[in-house]
Amino acid sequence: MFHKIFILSLGIFALTGCDAQKKVKTDKNTPPGSANTTMTKPKDQKAGIIYLNEGENKFLKEYQMNVTFTGISEDSRCPEGANCIWAGVALAQVQVMGTATRPITLNLASMDHPARDYHQSADFNGYTITLQDVTPYPKTDGGASALTGKYKIGITIKKEEKPSGSTTK
């Protein structure tokens, strides 16, 4: 008799727990597995630039693409108030994934420098993704290491143009 009551009470607790989980998911109004994901529509973009905070993930419905700004791997830009020989470059790592493709990480630089293999643009899934802006700028007191986790980038995405004289089969 004791076993039947114990099993019945466990069943009731399990069903109550399932109901509570359903309420939490509907209250958040986000799809499961997308804790830091936002949907971006063209009206959220300013002058065609899509802004992402470090670690932020956005699904771009217009391009059927998921974009994640994973971080800055290098920031050698000249700090504010300092005199430098070279302006330096910031290298942003952006992970992109189309609706029918696997994720790929693009290294986008704040300026083109082919000798060092820095490119401001990269092609993905028929689109050209270009890094337009990296903020904040390093300061002389803390340098780039003080900015970890505080970076924000601006990217543009444009449809790749095919050469006018080519033919496709």
Q: Rounded to whole angstroms, what are the CA distances from 97 to 42, 75, 92? A: 19, 25, 16
Domain positions in the chain are 37-159
Reported confidence tier of residue 132, pLDDT bands at 50, 70, 90: very high
143-155 tens-digit pLDDT: 555 567 788 999 9
Among 151, 109, 107, 101, smallest CA distance to 132 is for 109
Q: How far apart are alpha carbons 122 and 111 in whole angstroms?
A: 12
8-64 tens-digit pLDDT: 666 665 656 554 444 444 444 444 444 454 444 444 456 789 999 999 999 999 999
Q: How far apart are alpha carbons 152 and 27 in whole angstroms?
A: 29
58-117 tens-digit pLDDT: 999 999 999 999 999 988 888 877 888 888 899 999 999 998 899 999 999 999 988 888
